Amino acid sequence: MAKKIKTASASLTIMTNIVLPNETNSLRNLFGGELLAKMDRCASISAARHCERRVVTASVNHVSFNHPIPEGGVVVLESKVSRAFSTSMEVYVDVWLDDPINQKKIHTNAGIYTFVAVDEFNRPIPIPEMVPETEEEKERFAAAFRRKELSLILSGRMKPLESVELKKLFQEPQEPKKDKK
């Protein structure tokens, strides 16, 4: 049986919510933890769409809090699988503050989550490959491999010298060899 290949766009998930008073902190902005939960839900749907299986959150690799989201604000979360590995996948989540009255959208946050597809016994299972199409998807796809290598090195499951992509970032540029005549 041929291995299934999917595009990043096939996993696109968009969630829209209004920030309610019980979701805010003392500054009347969305609590960071509330946003993390929303991002995890959105990303998990993208992961499940990609592999058509149950998924579990393996890690939250990065989250940036760049702009507050006020009470009453419309928050839009967009997630897509950025890269699929053998049983895990990285999902990138972008968060926007949408102001429909003034017709403005502000990119407030971004996050990178890792999910693992599991069977009925919660054991990891193989997932489809993912092919990026847009320039942004291609950039995120390439960066996902570097992040995976870094994660493996930091967890002690890979030696730094075994790295393929990270090693390239830290090597001195080589002088081109001159032809001997």
pLDDT digits (tens, 9 = 90+) for 48-84: 999 999 999 999 988 999 999 999 999 999 999 999 9
> What's residue 58's pLDDT?
94
> What's residue 152's pLDDT?
82
pTM, 2 dp: 0.86
Q: Which residues of the chain have pLDDT under 70?
A: 1-2, 167, 169-181
Provide the residue ranges of all domains of the chain, joining segments of one domain with +. 5-133
The tokens for 91 are 């999902």
How is domain 5-133 classified at the CATH fold level?
Thiol Ester Dehydrase; Chain A (3.10.129)
> What's residue 1's pLDDT?
44
> What's residue 176's pLDDT?
65
CA angle 146, 107, 58 (to 5 degrees): 40
